[in-house]
């Protein structure tokens, strides 16, 4: 199908049309013309949207759905539709399914389920068999089947020798290893940040030290082995400092932080709302400030919604018994835009592709049309009516958001809310 985007402001610093308002002709998934005014062809669908802005397609490096095994939380088909209407043209899918994504067959299943979607699904394979942290999974076979990285979602590798071997082995095929930053013996049975707020509320705490010890250990291992390591969803000021030091040494280290850890503090816990029960836990304002500065300085490579749907039976219970996780695809752009502005927000939502070595053409004539469509202006409140996901466990309910996402152009299709 062919489209003509009318009066679209381009947000792409690498594009010759950056910050220019132009018409964009797309034919068979390729940008064939960009000009101040283009007359629609007979076989083109003309798209006119209020204050339309376009950028290269957004990518989320940590998304969970449910299927297979937990379809009541979210299916792949519907989850990808949610991603498209939230502005994402690509998502990395975590291996926290049942069964765990730890074989080439399970990777192939996920890719097969997504083959007709406009959103590209990139599976993350489990680093260990059944994500049990004991035996290394079939990394090379999963890489051949289409896995883009390997890690056990929200489960840290407690055996340092296992991580050492994984980092060494993955170098044979340029594999990227993920290591969740939590030392379980320090974290214990904690569920929120160990600080003044946890004491006031009488909730067991996870000290920042639990994350920082693991980050420091993993960086020592990386320095010894070489290879590529990605630390997902860091949450403390010290973690930012440790990763900055490692990057200055020239190590191939990357990291992300989740949008809720980037914007919210443990002060949200005062109502014992289980939507704020996340892992890593919400930290202090000092940590939030350090994370935001880390994003601005480029120490933190990308942000993620860390989208984790959870059915009401696992969230609408006592805080102690609730499962971890919040959805975040729908609120990602609007919440980031309130703090960082449109250009930095777009940068944060597109940078992850380079770490995972996923191509993303700049917006130019003859480039692949992989675009996010949005209006960066207009303030509103994020409510349950804005949630498209099957599960409604959002930490951003009743929070201010700025802007509106229209949808995407990808794989020769246009998806609009």
CA 355 remoteness from chain centre: 12
For residues 338 and 401, is the Cβ–Cβ distance under 8 A? yes
Residue 371, CA distances (Å) to 88, 273, 367, 414 in order: 9, 36, 11, 9
Continuous H helices in 249-369: 259-263, 285-297, 332-340, 342-350, 352-355
For residues 137 and 107, the answer to whether their CB atoms sit within 8 Å is no
Q: How many CB atoms lie within 10 A of CB 13?
A: 12
Catalytic residues: 306
**Residue 294 and residue 262: Cα distance in Å, rounded?**
10
Tokens of 212: 């920082």
- Token pair for residue 258? 């989740």
Q: Which H or E element spans position 385?
A: none
Q: What are phi and psi of 182, to 5 degrees?
A: -150, 125
Which residues, at least 6 apart from 308, have a Cβ–Cβ distance to it below 8 Å? 64, 324, 325, 326, 327, 393
The helix (H) or strand (E) run that includes residue 197 is helix 196-201
Q: Helices then strands (H, E): number in the chain?
A: 13, 18
Instruction: State how far the Cα of 368 lies from the Cα of 249, in Å rounded to an integer.
Output: 36
Give, for 165, the enclosing helix (H) or strand (E).
Answer: helix 160-170
The total number of residues written for the chain in this structure: 417
CB atoms within 10 A of CB 11: 23
CB-based contact 386:331 (threshold 8 Å)? yes
Beta bridge partners of 385: none
Nearest to 127 by CA among 213, 258, 251, 232: 232
């Amino acid at each position: 199908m062919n489209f003509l985007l009318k009066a679209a402001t381009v947000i792409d610093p690498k594009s010759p049309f950056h910050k220019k308002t132009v018409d964009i002709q797309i034919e068979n998934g390729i940008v064939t013309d960009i000009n101040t005014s283009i007359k629609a062809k007979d076989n083109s669908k003309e798209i006119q949207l209020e204050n339309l802005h376009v950028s290269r397609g957004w990518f989320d490096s940590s998304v969970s759905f449910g299927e297979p095994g937990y379809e009541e939380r979210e299916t792949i088909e519907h989850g990808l539709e949610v991603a498209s209407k939230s502005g994402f043209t690509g998502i990395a899918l975590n291996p926290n399914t049942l069964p765990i994504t730890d074989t080439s067959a399970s990777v192939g299943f996920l890719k097969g389920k997504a083959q007709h979607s406009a959103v590209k699904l990139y599976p993350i394979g489990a680093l260990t068999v059944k994500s049990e942290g004991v035996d290394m999974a079939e990394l090379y076979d999963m890489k051949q089947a289409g896995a883009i990285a390997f890690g056990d979602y929200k489960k840290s590798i407690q055996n340092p020798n296992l991580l050492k071997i994984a980092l060494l082995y993955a170098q044979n095929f340029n594999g990227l290893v993920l290591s969740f930053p939590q030392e379980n013996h320090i974290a214990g049975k904690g569920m929120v940040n160990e600080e003044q707020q946890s004491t006031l509320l009488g909730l067991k705490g996870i000290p920042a030290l639990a994350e920082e010890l693991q980050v420091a250990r993993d960086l020592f291992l990386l320095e010894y082995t070489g290879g590529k390591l990605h630390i997902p969803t860091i949450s403390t000021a010290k973690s930012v400092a440790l990763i900055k030091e490692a990057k200055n040494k020239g190590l191939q280290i990357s990291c992300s932080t989740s949008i809720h850890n980037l914007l919210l503090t443990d002060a949200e816990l005062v109502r014992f709302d289980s939507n704020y029960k996340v892992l890593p836990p919400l930290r202090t304002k000092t940590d939030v400030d350090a994370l935001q500065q880390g994003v601005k300085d480029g120490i933190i490579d990308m942000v993620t919604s860390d989208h984790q749907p959870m059915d009401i039976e696992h969230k609408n219970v006592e805080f102690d018994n609730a499962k971890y996780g919040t959805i975040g695809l729908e609120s990602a752009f609007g919440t980031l835009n309130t703090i960082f502005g449109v250009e930095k927000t777009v940068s944060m939502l597109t940078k992850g592709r380079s770490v995972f070595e996923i191509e993303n053409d700049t917006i130019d004539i003859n480039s692949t049309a992989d675009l996010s469509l949005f209006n960066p202006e207009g303030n509103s409140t994020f409510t349950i009516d804005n949630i498209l996901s099957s599960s409604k466990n959002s930490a951003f309910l009743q929070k201010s958001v700025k802007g509106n996402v229209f949808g995407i152009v990808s794989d020769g299709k246009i998806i609009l809310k």
